[in-house]
Amino acid sequence: MHSMHMHQCYYEACNADPDCLQYCPIIPLHGRSVETNLEKTKWTDVEFKLFTSSNIDSATDFNYNFQFEDLQHSEFVETAKVKFIIHGFFTAYSENNWLGSMKNKLIKDKPFNYNVFVVNWPKFAITLNYLAAKHDTETVGNALAEFIFKLCNFSSLKSSDIHLIGHSLGAHIAGFAGNALKKKGLIIGRITGLDPAGPLFKYDDGTRRLDRFDAAYVENLHTGIGDFIGNGYGFAKPLGDIDFFINGGFAQPDCSLWNLPRNILKYGWVEGFANTYACNHMFAYVLMLEDTEQFSENCQLVGFQCNNYRDYRGGKCNDCGSNGKACAVISLFGEDDRNSGQGYVEPQSSYASIKVYLDTLKKPPYCAQNYAIEIKLAKNSEVPNGKFELTLEGTYFGSARKFVINKDFSIEQDDRKFSCLVQLDKNLGKVTKATIRLYYGIYDLAVFFSKPKIIIDHLNVKYLSNIDKRIRNAWSASMCAEESKTNELINFVPCTYER
């Protein structure tokens, strides 16, 4: 270990030296100020596996009662930040599962930036008794808090440079650890909950599960909300400063019970059932593991604050607000990149959780080029019904792009406006032309005899898939209608003035 030093008060001497008690980790449990022997006995069953750029393939194992010398002789880099990865129910660390993949991504994408600890607790997690595993999340959380407290006291590591990443029950373990450390005066910098577990946590207060006060910044990805088998395993309500509801929080790509036979053939019986029935729940870490280098043309996973998923799908939530806080981007490296995880860089001041929504593509890479389309009718226009076909043309660095979108007209009578969310697999680029073609069904007899007079004031195309306002503005356009001899085909060109 590099440039390690030791505090004047040794951990082992704290019980004998009253002046040293401020450094002695006493983690409260249910109002008690000292841990029981049974609790500490269980702590020894929690492993903390250290990986760095120097030992990416072979872990150095610790437990909660490690000594200064253990850290000193390890690969721990005192100048690097620390990330903890915490698994959930019926899981354990393996180089071949998502824990190994995330460890590798953190170290390989940002060499020498992080010490990565995998919190491995299979003795409690691998059981058919979910109630017991749920109960033990507090035990594991307190063991983690003890470990972090000693880590900070044995090194120059600041708690603000610690990021806890937990999936399912692991998210609540992160919450228990953060809450316990807060009582010792240490505030964890960031917690990321990957679809925090919902079953049996629904009626618990914030001290009995993850909540937004467990770290300086708490974010969550909701992908499989529900109460148990059949309708999801994830917590349905916001738990953090920012809560991402991915594809509404419940319907993820290629997650269907009809996939069970295919998954059994591919993974075997146990993993086949898990990959089928927990598919939505698992998508949280699948999305976090996406290789952003494969995202096309400046695409980022940006969520927008919205009252509900219906409004988001309707294209009504398409602005980051004057202070930029009405949207956020998903990133493992938010604390290092100004353009990602901006809520972490500039913590929210509001006491209310912010719900943001984000839709993905149906297959990897999942980052969609999302656009909000707005069609504004003129005051003297009749209200259309039926369907329309929107053709958008643009150029992306010299490459011509053309996309055709079909939608049902549904005009809001109060503001005479139609809006929707459109997903593309490529960036449209600078919009140069648009065409709207109106058409009606064979049963629209009234339209057959007298077609409504449609006058469109303007068409707005707003690009949503980047946190940088300059990029969003560059790929957005306000389009004005050209004179048209037919009521069914309307051409648009960029407006010469701002709408």
Query: Tell me: the pLDDT tens digits for 341-391?
Result: 444 445 555 567 899 999 999 999 999 999 999 999 888 887 777 788 999
Helix ranges restricted to H, 370-449: 445-449
Considering the candidates 155, 159, 168, 331, report the single residue annotated as catalytic: 168
Strand partners, 430: 395
Q: Residue 30 — very low, low, confident or very high, per pLDDT cuts 50/70/90?
A: very low
Judged against a pLDDT cut of 60, whether residue 23 lies above it is answered with: no
pLDDT at 17: 41
Residues whose CB falls within 8 Å of the CB of residue 298, separated by 6 or more in sequence, listed in order = 427, 465, 466, 471
Amino acid letter, 34: V
459 contacts 374 by C-beta, under 8 angstroms: yes
195 is catalytic: yes
pLDDT at 413: 61
Lowest mean pLDDT among 59-73, 138-152, 352-366, 430-444: 430-444
Closest by Cα among 151, 102, 73, 21 to 333? 102
Strand partners, 438: 388
Which tokens in the block code for residue 380?
A: 């003297």
Judged against a pLDDT cut of 80, whether residue 300 lies above it is answered with: yes
Amino acid letter, 27: I
Judged against a pLDDT cut of 60, whether residue 71 lies above it is answered with: yes
CB atoms within 10 A of CB 82: 23
Residue 445 class from Cβ within 10 Å (0-12 exposed, 13-18 middle, 19+ buried)?
exposed
Q: Omega of the bond prior to 238 within 30 degrees of 0, cis?
A: no
Measured between alpha carbons, how far is residue 366 from residues 192, 276, 283 in Å? 20, 19, 11
Q: What is the DSSP letter of 211?
A: -
Kindly state the helix (H) or strand (E) to which residue 44 belongs, with its residue range: none
- What domains sit in the chain, N to C, each tagged with a CATH number? 11-358 (3.40.50.1820), 369-494 (2.60.60.20)
CB atoms within 10 A of CB 4: 17
Angle at which helices 269-277 and 260-267 cross, to 10°: 140
Q: What is the mean pLDDT of residues 440-447?
A: 55
Higher per-residue confidence, 303 vs 411: 303
Per-residue pLDDT tens for 483-495?
Answer: 765 567 889 999 9
Q: Which residues are known binding-site members?
A: 209, 211, 214
Judged against a pLDDT cut of 70, whether residue 43 lies above it is answered with: yes
Provide the percentage of residues in the chain whose pLDDT is more than 90: 62
Taking the C-alpha atoms of residue 222 and residue 357, their distance in angstroms, rounded to an integer, is 10
Judged against a pLDDT cut of 60, whether residue 337 lies above it is answered with: no
pLDDT at 9: 35
Judged against a pLDDT cut of 90, whether residue 253 lies above it is answered with: yes
162 contacts 174 by C-beta, under 8 angstroms: no
Q: Which residues are known binding-site members for Ca(2+)?
A: 209, 211, 214
pLDDT at 485: 55
Per-residue pLDDT tens for 447-476?
Answer: 555 667 788 888 999 999 998 899 999 999
Q: What is the mean pLDDT of residues 310-338?
A: 84
Lowest mean pLDDT among 20-24, 143-147, 175-179, 450-454: 20-24
pLDDT at 34: 42
* b/e burial code for range 232-245 (CB count within 10 A of at least 16 → b): bbbbbebbbbbbbb
Judged against a pLDDT cut of 60, whether residue 98 lies above it is answered with: yes
Closest by Cα among 395, 414, 394, 391 to 403? 391
pLDDT at 336: 56
156 is catalytic: no
Considering the candidates 159, 281, 359, 478, report the single residue annotated as catalytic: 281
Which tokens in the block code for residue 486?
A: 């037919």
Lowest mean pLDDT among 191-200, 250-259, 384-393: 384-393
Closest by Cα among 49, 118, 57, 111 to 80? 111
- Computed over every residue of the chain, the mean pLDDT equals 85
Closest by Cα among 136, 192, 185 to 162? 192
Closest by Cα among 134, 80, 90 to 336? 80
Taking the C-alpha atoms of residue 1 and residue 36, their distance in angstroms, rounded to an integer, is 32
